[in-house]
Amino acid sequence: MTALAPSPALTSRPARSPHLLRWLIRLHRPALLAWIAFVLVVGGLLLWVGGPLTDASAEAWKQYNACGADGCSYDVKAIGRYKDWYNYTTIAVIAAPFLVTAWSGAALVSRELESGTAQLAWTQAVSPARWLAAKLAVPAVLIAVGSGLLAGLHHWAWSTGQGRIDTVKGWHDLGTYAANGTATAAMALAGLVSGVFWGLYKREPYSALFGSLMSTGLLWSLVAIATPHLWPSVSKVSSLTHSVPAGSGIVVDQGLVTSTGKHLSGHLCGSTTYGHCKTVYAKLDAVGYYNDYHPQSHYWPLQLTSTAIILAVTAALTVASFSLLKRRTGSAPARKAAAV
Amino acid sequence: MTGTAAIEAAALGKRFGRRGGWALRDCAFRLPAGRVCAVVGPNGAGKSTLLALAAGLLAPSEGEITVLGGRPGAARERVSYVAQDKPLYPQLTVAETLRMGADLNTDRWDASVAERVVADGDLNPKSNIRALSGGQRTRVALALALAKRPELLLLDEPMADLDPLARHQMMGLLMAQAAESGTTIVMSSHVLAELEDSCDHLLLVDGGQVRIAGEIDELLAAHRRVSAPADTVLDAHTVVESRTTGRQLTALIRPLAPLAADWQTGTPTLEELVLSYLRNPQAPTTKTPETVA
């Protein structure tokens, strides 16, 4: 029995805790480098779009607006280049959550469970719960910083064009709205956790990849559909002499107001200066337009509410992932066994 | 009960999926510390499930398993486990794999042990795990397992993909470990001959249950192979297997009373013993006293 007792040197000092960070970085080095490269490239492009490209485009618009009726020359290419690269970078920023989801679903956890290397880690001095915590926490920090940085740069690149470029995207443009705010960074975290959840559930990369991409897509769509309803909208009534209802932003509902004050959704025809529309409106007893919408001042309330919802889903998926793992491996301290 | 038990199971059962079959059911046994134990049984008997439960990789569906006096997960740093297919990170090199062992373990880790095991196999530390042969992978997996300086070493089919020479070397390595540190070693195999010479303790797992548990010497001594006339009545003894050919009855029994002088008797070999139990699922379970949980 003496041979079994650990030597005093082993027990006299507290056990060194495992170096999980070093191990994770070695294990996922390609993914880490790819993420850093992605953030640097897209971030660099956004600086280019917000700086030189915006300046050139603004200059071209200035030339264009100074043109007389007899025509003049202005830099069409600069306008096109700004528009193209603005769109490409917007797509890249919105794609980040899906890239994260794909990696997390296919590689982070599922592949390890399939090949048995997760079990290899669990039979070192690392408990399954600790393993999962490390696998979530380290990427979560990098993803939050990276996609937060990209969303911030996108917001900056978009804002530098405001009032200088005539065709600049409004704050409520679908892609711009998504890429400009915190919700995209939260979505990337949700993607990470959904990849992990599906990985633990399916224990196989292909179904985990499919499942996590589907659930991230679903969450994204649901939040996009719900966004106009996440904050009380503003209602504005305007005259039928305009061709469209007044008030620009994210529209919740618009239509006609009748003489009794009733709201008829839709039925928009155009200005009453057109005879046809005048007849249509007269038939409906319409006296004005109404527009329930979110003005730009609602931007942050909407962004932050959807961010909070996405983070709540992320937290729920995290809890579900840990309890799934716990049920599989029995890593919870059993009260009975502890009493032995 | 004497000394600490390395593994102790009571009414242990594991079922995969809610409607799946039972991989293990109603297992009860006790493995005293310091033994080199062979876990034998046919394919699909539940050997791997038993080892994974002991390693804390699976939660039991029912019953309890205690490892080194606590729940399996609590003993993680004192237990090493090598799975059947020797999973290792294919993208890492041998040296990086050993560094992973150093990173993921506490200060029980002995890097010199790992390096020695790897160096003895003429493995280049810079080779990728992906490029190794089955035997080389086994060596790296064992290096990880041994450098933890475990009190309990669980090996699932450790010799399956080794050539005879490598098998011999590996067994020597394990036996040296057992002798030097008193490590309890539990090895599974469906080939009994692989383990017979090195193990002093046996667990026969069959159909999800532990059929035999005990010191091999005691188990052998407790059984007799008998040849007697065909009309002999064996009711006084526990009969594991009996066969009548012509006027001759041959049987494997656990004698409970003195045997008749005119019978031809002998001690069975371990293989005869195991095969007799496997051929006769109705034969009673045999456990030597110290292995009763």
Nearest CA in chain A to B71: A337
* Cα A197 versus chain centre, distance: 19
Residue A308: closest CA among A217, A198, A232, A223: A223
Number of other CB atoms surrounding residue B289 within 10 Å: 10
The predicted-structure confidence for A253-280, as pLDDT tens digits, reads as follows: 888 888 888 888 888 888 888 888 888 8
Distance from CA of A55 to the nearest CA of B (A): 47
Residue A216: closest CA among A93, A107, A101, A94: A101
What tokens were used for A196? 């992990």
Alpha-carbon gap, residue A13 to B195, rounded angstroms: 38
Q: Which of B106, B142, B183 to mutate to test the interface with A (most CBs of A within 10 A)?
A: B106
Q: Which residues of B touch A120 (CB under 8 A)?
A: 83, 87-89, 144
Nearest CA in chain A to B55: A123
The predicted-structure confidence for B190-240, as pLDDT tens digits, reads as follows: 778 777 788 999 999 998 889 999 999 999 999 999 998 888 888 888 889
The predicted-structure confidence for A271-310, as pLDDT tens digits, reads as follows: 888 888 888 888 888 888 999 999 989 999 999 999 999 9
What tokens were used for B68? 């080194």
Compute the mean pLDDT over every residue in chain A, rounded to the nearest whole number. 87
pLDDT of residue A6: 45
Q: Are B190 and B43 in contact (CB under 8 A)?
A: yes
State whether B57 and A122 contact (CB < 8 Å). Answer: yes
Q: In the 8-state DSSP scheme, what is residue A104?
A: I
What is the share, in percent, of chain A residues with pLDDT greater than 70? 92
* Cα B270 versus chain centre, distance: 14
Q: Is A27's Cβ below 8 Å from some Cβ in B?
A: yes
Helix (H) or strand (E) holding A256: strand A250-258
Beta bridge partners of A289: A238, A256
State whether B4 and A4 contact (CB < 8 Å). Answer: yes
Nearest CA in chain B to A17: B106
In this prediction, residue A134 has a pLDDT band, given cuts at 50, 70 and 90, of very high
Q: Is A179 exposed, middle or buried, given 0-12, 13-18 or 19+ CB atoms closer than 10 A?
A: buried
ipTM > 0.95? no
Integer-rounded Cα radius of gyration of chain B: 21
Contacts of B284 (CB under 8 A, 6+ apart): B238, B240
Integer-rounded Cα radius of gyration of chain A: 28
Distance from CA of B184 to the nearest CA of A (A): 9
Q: Are B183 and B110 in contact (CB under 8 A)?
A: no
Alpha-carbon gap, residue A283 to A170, rounded angstroms: 35
Distance from CA of B139 to the nearest CA of A (A): 15
pLDDT of residue A338: 36
Contacts of A132 (CB under 8 A, 6+ apart): A109, A196, A200, A321, A322, A325
Distance from CA of A36 to the nearest CA of B (A): 20
Number of other CB atoms surrounding residue A18 within 10 Å: 24
In this prediction, residue A340 has a pLDDT band, given cuts at 50, 70 and 90, of very low
Q: Are strands A250-258 and A263-265 parallel, antiparallel or unpaired?
A: antiparallel
Question: What SS3 class is residue B287?
Answer: strand
State whether B71 and A117 contact (CB < 8 Å). Answer: no
pLDDT of residue A12: 44
Q: Which residues of B touch A130 (CB under 8 A)?
A: none
Question: What SS3 class is residue A66?
Answer: coil
Residue A116: left if φ>0, alpha if ψ -120 to 50, beta else—which one? left
Question: What SS3 class is residue B24?
Answer: strand
Q: Which residues of B touch A124 (CB under 8 A)?
A: 76-77, 100-101, 104-105, 144, 148
Q: Which of A108, A122, A123 to mutate to test the interface with B (most CBs of B within 10 A)?
A: A123
Q: Which of B30, B71, B98, B156 to mutate to test the interface with A (most CBs of A within 10 A)?
A: B71
What tokens were used for A169? 């995207």
Nearest CA in chain B to A130: B104
State whether B72 and A330 contact (CB < 8 Å). Answer: yes
Q: Show pLDDT as tens, one digit a residue, over chain B (293 residues).
A: 456 789 999 999 998 877 788 899 989 999 999 999 999 988 888 999 999 999 999 989 999 999 999 888 888 889 999 999 899 999 999 999 999 999 998 878 899 989 988 888 888 999 999 999 888 899 999 999 999 899 999 999 888 878 888 888 888 888 888 888 889 999 998 778 777 788 999 999 998 889 999 999 999 999 999 998 888 888 888 889 988 888 899 999 998 888 888 888 899 999 999 999 999 888 888 888 777 76
What tokens were used for B177? 């470990």
State whether A125 and B106 contact (CB < 8 Å). Answer: yes
Alpha-carbon gap, residue B57 to B60, rounded angstroms: 10
What tokens were used for A206? 């292909």
The predicted-structure confidence for A140-167, as pLDDT tens digits, reads as follows: 999 999 999 999 999 999 999 888 888 8
State whether B99 and A16 contact (CB < 8 Å). Answer: no
Domain boundaries, chain B: 5-217, 223-286
Q: Is the pLDDT of residue A15 over 90?
A: no
Beta bridge partners of A218: none
Q: Please, what's the b/e burial string for A287-314 (b: 16 or more CB within 10 A of its CB; e: otherwise)?
A: ebbbbbbbeeebbeebbbbbbebbbebb
Distance from CA of B192 to the nearest CA of A (A): 26
Q: Is A323's Cβ below 8 Å from some Cβ in B?
A: no
Ramachandran angles phi, psi of B133, nearest 5°: -80, 170
Q: Which of A2, A4, A117 to mutate to test the interface with B (most CBs of B within 10 A)?
A: A4
Q: Which of residues 67-126 of A touch B (CB under 8 A)?
A: 115-117, 119-126
The predicted-structure confidence for A196-249, as pLDDT tens digits, reads as follows: 999 999 999 999 999 999 999 999 999 999 999 999 999 888 888 888 888 888
> Which numeric CATH code is attached to B5-217?
3.40.50.300
Q: Is B15 exposed, middle or buried, given 0-12, 13-18 or 19+ CB atoms closer than 10 A?
A: middle
State whether A119 and B87 contact (CB < 8 Å). Answer: yes
Q: Is the pLDDT of residue A119 over 70?
A: yes
Ramachandran angles phi, psi of B135, nearest 5°: -65, -40
Of residues B20 and A189, more confidently modeled: A189
Nearest CA in chain A to B179: A3
Q: Is A331's Cβ below 8 Å from some Cβ in B?
A: yes
